[in-house]
Structures are given as structure tokens and as C-alpha cells.
Structure 1
Amino acid sequence: MKPSTHEHDTLLLSRLQLFRNVDMENPALLDLLNLCEYRTLAAGEVILSTQKENHYLFILMKGRLVIQLSAHEDIPLATVEPGECVGEMSIIDSRVPSAQVSASEETYVLVIEQDTLWRMVSVSHEIARNLLYIMSERVRYSNLVIADSLEMQRKYQRYAVTDALTGLHNRGWLDDAFDREIKRSERDQLPLALIMIDVDDFKNYNDAYGHLAGDKVLVSVAAAIRSPLRPNDLVARFGGEEFAVLLPETTVDNAKIIAERLRKHVSESDPGELDGKDLPKVTISLGIAGRQSGYSLDMMIAAADVAMYHAKRSGKNRIEIAAEIPVDA
């Protein structure tokens, strides 16, 4: 950073944010301006760091500054154009800057030390007003950045628990949500049923019609499973062509009624067409397990899985209940 002496161009200064509508002929203000200095920054030179206190206001005269959350960020959070300033917030709250500011090219700045800035505010009400406006704009921009950040967090959270293909919740969500519901059911001594669902002959379907057709079938099956369920029922894609439905406060007998509704719904669901040709419909096999005292999520899944595979071995497109499967099945 190279300091330089420079005769003040009051007309140019009057166009800057801080000195807008300020009487630049005010002798007291001119005396204070003479305490300031102009500096030339090399490309990449840092003027505000998140690791060091700041005591200066930097007004950009020529060139460009970039704002980054840290030195390791490749993409700037924002850029500072000629006429704008940086450093005012860290001066106001007496904290280290919340972001790093550096020159992206050779840049020319006017540097005002914080005590000099406060004396300028005392000398000119217009400077005080302009500084307040600059800070309010900074806060407004920070709020927008925070809002954008929260929106991105919501998106990432949604992606983290949602299956990209079907739009259902995924296995990660299932492990957490189903486990909480099982514990609630155990605590309140309420009935609970789990349905495990598998698309019949899905591998053969994929081999015969291709993976794009298989994807369309999974989307169709997911929609057919979700639509008849009650608002408090939980559904997720378990993995591959397998789905799981947890039915709170539901007995096994009632779960069988719901499972039959799902089976019928899927068998009648149209997966659409691919390359101008109608895709054939598919069926599902379903296994039901009711919550037993002391059952964990893994135990319920295992029991419902056994029932589901028994349904497959028994002809597919049918429902089996774990408690009704013979020991030697």
C-alpha cells in the first residue's frame, strides 16, 4: 500500500457517497481532509481482514474492491465500485470486520482514520446523514445475503432428506422420522404398523424397457403410493425399487386395508409412455409388520421385509402380514 499526497478535488469528492450535498468549502472540513491520505493498492492487497481490528474508512476512488467471507473464498460476496466505501461497520461496532476486503486490481483509495471521521461528523450534519444512509444500505444488503443464505440452507436440507427421482423422503429421513414415531408409539402405547413395498419384477422391467422406463415406473409408483395416504402417514423411498410406509396409530388389520388400497392404486397407475410407446403397468408386493413391545425400527423393517418377500414367493401382487407367516416359510 503506497501512501501519496494529493490536492483534494472537492468537485470529485462531492460526488462520493460520504460527501454528497456536503459544503466542501467548509474550512473545518478541509482541515480534516488534509489529515487523510490517498493510497494505491496493489492487486490482491487486503485492506480489511477478519483477523485484525480496523480503524479506517476506505473510500474507493478508482479501481475495484472485492468482499469475501474469508481469504479462502474464491467467489466474491460482492464488489465495491468507485464512490463507495468500506470499513464503516467495523468502526461503528468496534469489532473485527465480518468479511475480508481486497483490491482485485490496482486501486486508488482515500483513507480516513476513525477519529478524523467522527470529527467530520461533528463538523457536518450532511456527513452524519450520509454515513447513516451508507450503514443502512450495508445492513439491508447483509439482510438480503442472510435471507439468500437461509434459502440455500433450506434447499440443501430439502435435498438432504428428499429422493431426487421420486420426490419422496429418502432413507436418511426415514431412519430419523420413523424411529421417532416408533418411540412415541411405544411411550404412549399406541398401535403402529409398517408396510414394506417392492415393485414386482423390476429388474426384468429395466432389462426389457431400459432404465429411463424404470425411472418413470418408480415415479409413477411413488405417486400412486403417496396419494391415498392420510396426512399423518409417513412414506419414503427405502432404496432401489423398495418403499416404506409407516402408519401411526394404526392396527395391523387396518394397515391391511390401507395396503390393499395401495396395491390396487399402483396396479391401476399408468406409468406413461417412452419414445411414443405406452409403458406397461406394474404391480407391487407388500409386507406388513405391527409394532411389538420393545421393537426397534430395524426389527420392524426386518419383520415387514420377511413378509414382503413371502408375498413375492407366493405369487406377487399381494399382501402378507409378518405375524401370519408360517415359521417354515
Structure 2
Amino acid sequence: MEQIGTFGASPYKVEDLQLFNGTNAETTARALAGCAIIRLPHGGKVADSYRARLYIVLRGALDVEADTSSGMNDGTVSRILPGESVGEQAVLDDTANLFAITASEESDLLVIEAELVWRLIDESNGLARNLLRMLSFRIRAANALLRRRQKLGEFYRQLSLNDSLTGLCNRAWLNDMLPKMIATAQRNGAPLSLVMIDLDHFKRFNDTHGHPAGDDALRVASDVVAAALRPTDFAVRYGGEELMVILPDTSEQLALMVAERLCWRLQEAVVFSDMRLPLPHITGSFGVACLAAGETEDALVARADAALYRAKQDGRNRVAL
């Protein structure tokens, strides 16, 4: 960047600068007369990391990428247009600018040193009001941006806990939540049951009809399971073609009834509408286990998995305890 003159010798007027609206233009112009005007080429950066200064855009535009020193920058950029300023917070904090300031086109900037800004604030109530109003607006904008980021973060967090193919909870969710649910059930003396589900002959299904058809079958099965549960129950894609249902406050006998209902609904669900199979259905084997006193999540899952294995050994498309 290069200095091309001073404000007093330039055609620019105080009335065009937002920060000085409502101030005495003649007095302000005299105070700013010796302030430097610098020119930034397109893509040029304000190289000023050692002192607090205020920059006002006279011509062109700046892109300001905030908080570059914190390591938390997410790429959010603010556009500063003619008459607008940047660096107020640095002046008030008496710290170096923590902003990456880049000219989005060739730009002329008025540079006001921190000492002069403070003197003008002392001399002009109008300038103080403008500064407060500007900072208030930026705080509101920053809070709104923070809320949007929080919502986006929650959205991505939820995505990370859901299986992308089926929409069910995934193993990451299970690893986090199942120990908590088991601890709650143990503490309250409440029942909790698991149902393990494995789609029957799924490898043969994939080999015969292809993996896209296998994905369709998984989605159909997952929809059947999710639609049959209570709002307090949870369906998980455990891995591959294996699903899990967590039933809080559910005894073994009631869990058995739930599994029987799921088994029946699954064999009635249609995967192919063009009847490419003799029966266009899929079936599943179900293993049920209810939490025992003092039992860990690993032990409970192992018992449900053992029950599932028995259902497969007994002929599939059935439920075992």
C-alpha cells in the first residue's frame, strides 16, 4: 500500500463519512486534514499488525476476515463500502488489528491514528453516538451470526450421529447414548430391552440383485422398523445389514411382542414393485435381551446378539430370546 496524499488535500468530504454524521463538518475536516490517504491495489492487504488505527473507505471496497490470530476463523467475510470504517474495536481496545483486510478492488483509505480518534470522541458527542450505534449494530450482527453457526453446528452434529443411508442412529450415537441409558435404567431400577435384527440372506440378495437394490432393501427395512416404534424408542444401524432397537422402560415380554410385530411387518414390506422376486419381500431374524441387574452394555449387546444367532440357527424369519 502507498500513501497518495492527505485528507485535507483530497476531494473527499466529511459529510460522506458515516462515522462523522451529525458532527461539525468544518471542525472535523480541520482535525482530519493531515491524516494520510493510502491506496490499495486489487487484492492488496492492510499490513498493520502492530498498532491500532481506524480505516475509512473513501473509494473502492474492503473484504474483512475477522479474528485471524485466534485459529477459529471460519472464512466469514464482511464487505466494507465507501463511507464505512473498520478498526474501531482495535482503537477502543488499544490493540493491534486482528482482522485480515483485503481490497476487493482498487481502494483509497483514510487512516486515522488512535490518538486522534480519542481526541475527536472527547470533542464530539455526535461521534461518540455514531461509534456506539455502529458497534451496537456489529454486536447484533455478530450475535446473529453466532446463532446461525450454532444451529449449523447442531445440524452437522446430528448428521454425524445419523446413518446416511437409512436415516437411523449410527454407531457413534450408540456408543455415546447406550451406556447413559443403561446407567439411567440401573439407577432407577427400570427395565430396558434390546432387539438385534439381521436381514436374512442379505449377501445373496446383493449378489442376485446388486448393491443398489440392497440399499433399497435396507432403507425399506429401516423405515419399517422406525415407523413401528414409540417416540421413546430408538432404532440404530448397527452395521451392514444389522439393525438394533433400544426399548427403554420395556420388559422382556413386551420387547418380545415388539420384536414379533417388527418381524411380521418386515416380511409384509415390499421392496420391488415389479415382482422380480417370487415374493418381493425381505425377512429378518430377531434377538431379544432385557437388561439384568448390574449388567454392562457390552454384556447386554452380547446376549441380544446370541439370541439373534439362535433365531438364524432355528430357520430365520423369527424371534428368539
Q: Same fold (TM over 0.5)?
A: yes
Residue in 1 that maps onto 2:312: 312
Q: Is the 8 A contact 1:48 1:102 kept in 2?
A: no
Check conservation: 1:192, 1:248, Cα contact below 8 A.
yes
2: CA distance, partners of 1:222 / 1:48: 58
Going from structure 1 to structure 2, the CA distance change for 1:9 and 1:219 (only over 3 Å counts) comes to: same
1:19 paired with 2:20, answer yes
The Cα shift of 1:177 comes to: 1.0
Gap regions ≥5 residues in structure 1: 322-329
Q: Deviation per CA, 1:48-106, whole angstroms, max 9, x where unpaired?
A: 65xx5x52110012333222242786945223223221011232344555543234555
CA shift for structure 1 position 232: 1.8
Match of 1:173 in 2: 173
Question: What amino acid sits opposite 2:39 in the alignment?
Answer: T
Alignment of 1:82-93 (within 5 A): 82-93=82-93
Is the 8 Å Cα contact of residues 224 and 269 (structure 1) preserved in structure 2? yes
User: Structure 2: how far apart are the matches of 1:316 and 1:84?
Assistant: 72
- Structure 1 counterpart SS, 2:19: coil
Asked if the contact 1:58/1:85 (under 8 Å) is kept, the reply is yes
- Going from structure 1 to structure 2, the CA distance change for 1:296 and 1:44 (only over 3 Å counts) comes to farther
SS of the residue corresponding to residue 14 of structure 1 reads helix
| Compared CA separation, residues 183 and 101, structure 1 to 2 (3 A) | same
Aligned pairs for 1:98-137 within 5 A: 99-104=99-104, 106-137=106-137
Q: What is the rounded CA distance, in whole Å, between the counterparts of 1:247 and 1:32 in structure 2?
A: 74
Q: Percent identity?
A: 35
**8 Å Cα contact 2:14-2:29 kept in structure 1:** no
User: What does residue 285 of structure 1 align with?
Assistant: 285
Other structure's SS at 1:230 match: coil
Structure 1 Cα separation of the partners of residues 141 and 114 of structure 2? 23
Alignment RMSD: 2.6
5 Å-filtered alignment, 1:1-150, equals 1-6=1-6, 7-9=8-10, 12-24=13-25, 26=26, 28-41=27-40, 43-47=43-47, 49=49, 54-68=51-65, 69-70=67-68, 75=75, 77-95=77-95, 97=97, 99-104=99-104, 106-150=106-150
Distance in 1, Cα, partners of 2:99 & 2:209: 54
Aligned residues: 314
Aligned letter for 1:34? Answer: A
Show structure 2 runs of 5+ residues with no match. none
Question: 1:195 and 1:74, CA in 2 relative to 1: closer, same or farther beyond 3 A?
Answer: closer
Give how far 1:47 is off. Answer: 4.4
Q: What SS does the corresponding residue of 1:91 show, helix, strand or coil?
A: helix
Cα deviation, residue 287, structure 1 = 0.4
Change in 2 beyond 3 A, CA 1:30/1:64: closer
SS in 2 for 1:5: strand
TM-score w.r.t. length of structure 2:
0.87
